Amino acid sequence: MKKLLLGVIAFALIITSCNKYEDEFNDLNAKLDALKTQVAGVAALQTGITALQSQVTALSAAVAALPNPTASIATLTTNLATLTTNVAAIQTKLNTLAIDVAAGKVTSDAAAVKVAELQAALVLTQADIVKILANTSMYVGDVSITSDAEVDFWTPKIHQLGMINGSLEVNTTDISTSKIAAMNVILHNVNAVIGGVYWQSEVYLTSSVGKSIDLSHLTTVVGDFAAWGATGSVLQSSIDLSALSNVTGDFAMDFDGPYALPALTKVGGAMYLETHTASTTTGAVRSGTTTVNFPLVLVVGEINDGNPDWPIATTVNVAGDMTTFDAAIATSVTLRGNYSAGLVFNAAKAISVSIGAATIAGPVTINAAVATSVSLPSLTTIGAGNAFGITTSAVTAVALPLLATSGDLTINMGAANNGSVDLSLFASAVAVTITGPETISLPKYVTGQLVCSTAKTVTLALHAGVLAPTLVKVETLTMGALNTAAFNISAYTTLKVASITGKSGTTSGATGTAAVAGVTSSTNATLTSLTLAGPMVTAVVDGQSKLTSLATSGIINSLTVNSCALLTAVSFAHTHFVGGTLGTGSVLVVTNNPKLAALTTSTNFMRTLTVTGNVLLTTMNFNSYVDILYPGSSVGITISGNKTSGVYTAPIVQTPTTPWVEAVVKSNDFLTLKAYVAKMTVTAAALTQTLSLSFDDDSSVTGTQTLASLMLVGTLYNAVTCPTIIDATGGINTPAEMALVVAN
């Protein structure tokens, strides 16, 4: 492998693109050139200043590039800054001298004396830099250790090699075994290499021969790094790099067996790890690349040219850009990095898969047939329009907790199981197809088609409700932001528990209907519990043969509950729209629920109230109705065919000795409506009322007789002897008849 070179850091004394200063610099240079011809030593002085200035600048730049400076490095930085100031001061004095001589202010003899003084100052500054470098263990230049003679050469210079400002080359091939220990005494002292690092290591894995390299204190390489074995069976562990944490350039290795650098945190360029398979060929015996373990590293560039393939590695943990990843037998895979062109991941035997990318620009496909866990804990975005797909058959958990944006999303976890999918922040308006898990929660998913053939529990906290019947096994459905007027849960034939909430933000005074929810629930053969929460315009619960629990809240302008065979009680807590085009008055229809025993309303501003055919309904309370609609509206009240009771006392005709007495209707249920009907009658002649109220059993007579039948028994009306308001048309159907109601 060719030696990797560190680029030379160049220094320029004065650089500018500003034209207005160009003449001044040219003039100064001309005066300096003139001074060189008049005074001996000026040329040498200027050359020395420039050289020293370049050296100090290069050292300062190299030291500043170190990622984790120690206290001694911090001191070196301070000292170099002082040197920079001192050298600049000498240059300034020389510039001033040239100007003064050109102006005739200083003679040539006097100038010569000043030049000698500046030369002496420069010599002292040069001595300072030597002293500083000696005290900070820095060697300036390349270090090569490839032979016994070079080991002997560098041994007395150990104290200078804490930091190498240059390149390091180590090759143990021609170093005697007896010199390896001395070589490692030298290398053990190296903390940082500010340049390229290039070595070749040969290691014999027998107790009689060993040529390992000890760079256990090396933490930083500013530049490129390459290491490999001289023969096919040499392991990476033959070089101790246990402290190496940062390589600013490219990183390359070629060894047999496992790759592992647990302390390496960053590679500023690309990484290339030569891949080997097992071999028993004489002279080329290998165990192959069995492990790739860089648990902390972040590779800025590509890994293995963007297509790593480690066919016999059992564990992979690495980070960097790639387009495809293959690890045929790996059981544990952890990847980190951002995949600029997308990612195709193939690991057929992986049990655990973790990919740490935050954003992936292109499409993603993950094939991990037997994985039990697939996690992308940091992924937030997949490039616009790019699909995301996971295919596995045994996974129990797919974690995408931060993913918010992608193209169509497909997760295939195989046959139904108890697995879960975490898509807590997913919000793209795309198709989502998930196969395998029985529980799905997409709390931020607003709109798009959800397809899942295995899910039994589905939570869509913000979904608008535009869903086709593609949840063929759903038993528990929660929707928290319904935004369609035609959502029919009847399509979900396996549904047992449903909680549907309208989209928040639709206020009581809403002025449109397009964005307001409507729910229909009919003939769901398995539905047992239904919770409805507004805002909704309409809600219809019809023909539910297994429904035993119904609760409401929020704004529901029109609610119908009909023919729910097992419903014994309802918990109404909803209100209705007031104002705007939706505030037309509340509608409540409760009909033909054969086991419903009690009813208490929660709405106001009545437009329609119908309670009929509930043959076990014995108790009703309508006290929630307080405010009436304004003139021009129509109100209808129909109550009959239930199991309420009361007492009807017919009017008594006047006799010569007794006055006539008006009829009395005793009903605690109707009494809760009396004041409301009276208010409609008194305040708004233009408010049209349609009344039809009848309790279902008069407890004062033998047998079952309804109020409607009793009020039909003849008419006793006589303008003189019995001016009753009973019209004998059956039940209470006028406000005047409603005024006859008293407590029972």
Question: pLDDT digits over 107-119, tens only?
Answer: 877 877 787 777 7
pTM of the predicted structure, to 2 decimals: 0.67
> Beta-carbon neighbour count of residue 92 at 10 Å?
10
Give me the residues paired with residue 388 across strands.
364, 409
Residue 49 falls inside a structural domain: yes
Strands 168-171 and 143-145: parallel
Residue from 604, 741, 586 nearest 674 by CA: 741
- C-alpha radius of gyration, the chain, whole number: 45
Phi, psi for 156 (deg, rounded to 5): -75, -5
483-493 pLDDT per residue, tens: 777 788 888 88
- How does DSSP classify residue 265? -
Residue 417 falls inside a structural domain: no
Q: Residues 595, 617: contact at Cβ < 8 Å?
A: no
| Range from 135-149, 150-164, 523-537, 612-626 carrying the lowest mean pLDDT | 135-149
What gap in Å lies between CA 710 and CA 707, rounded to an integer?
Answer: 5
Q: Which of 120, 136, 152 is the last residue of a domain?
A: 136
* Cβ partners under 8 Å of residue 109, min gap 6: none
Residue 452 falls inside a structural domain: no
What rounded mean pLDDT belongs to the chain? Answer: 81
- Residue 203 pLDDT > 60: no
Q: What is the pLDDT of residue 668?
A: 95
- Residue 438 pLDDT > 90: no
CA geometry: angle at 591 spanning 587 and 594, to 5°?
150
For residue 8, give the amino acid letter.
V
372-400 pLDDT per residue, tens: 788 888 888 888 778 888 887 777 788 88
Residue from 589, 622, 618 nearest 696 by CA: 618
Q: What is the pLDDT of residue 18?
A: 41
Burial class (CB in 10 A: 0-12, 13-18, 19+), 230: middle
Residue 609 falls inside a structural domain: no
For residue 551, give the amino acid letter.
A
Residue 626 falls inside a structural domain: no
Q: ω before 535 within 30° of 0 (cis)? A: yes
Q: Residues 713, 730: contact at Cβ < 8 Å?
A: no
578-602 pLDDT per residue, tens: 887 788 899 999 999 999 999 999 9
* Cβ partners under 8 Å of residue 490, min gap 6: 520, 521, 522, 523, 524
Burial class (CB in 10 A: 0-12, 13-18, 19+), 63: buried
pLDDT exceeding 70 applies to what percent of the chain?
Answer: 83
* Cβ partners under 8 Å of residue 386, min gap 6: 342, 360, 361, 362, 363, 364, 406, 407
* Cβ partners under 8 Å of residue 590, min gap 6: 560, 561, 562, 570, 596, 599, 610, 611, 614
For residue 134, give the amino acid letter.
A
- How does DSSP classify residue 450? E
Residue 541 falls inside a structural domain: no
- Residue 10 pLDDT > 50: no
| Range from 245-249, 581-585, 716-720 carrying the lowest mean pLDDT | 716-720
CA atoms within 13 A on the CB side of 46: 18
Q: Which of 119, 136, 153 is the last residue of a domain?
A: 136
Residue 56 falls inside a structural domain: yes
Residue length of the chain:
744
Burial class (CB in 10 A: 0-12, 13-18, 19+), 426: buried
Residue 106 falls inside a structural domain: yes
Q: How confident is the model at residue 191 (pLDDT cuts 50, 70, 90)?
A: confident
Q: How confident is the model at residue 4 (pLDDT cuts 50, 70, 90)?
A: very low
| Range from 32-41, 321-330, 686-695 carrying the lowest mean pLDDT | 32-41
Q: Which of 110, 136, 162 is the last residue of a domain?
A: 136
Query: What domain range includes position 691?
Result: 645-742
- Residue 29 pLDDT > 70: no
Q: How many independent structural domains does the chain possess?
A: 2
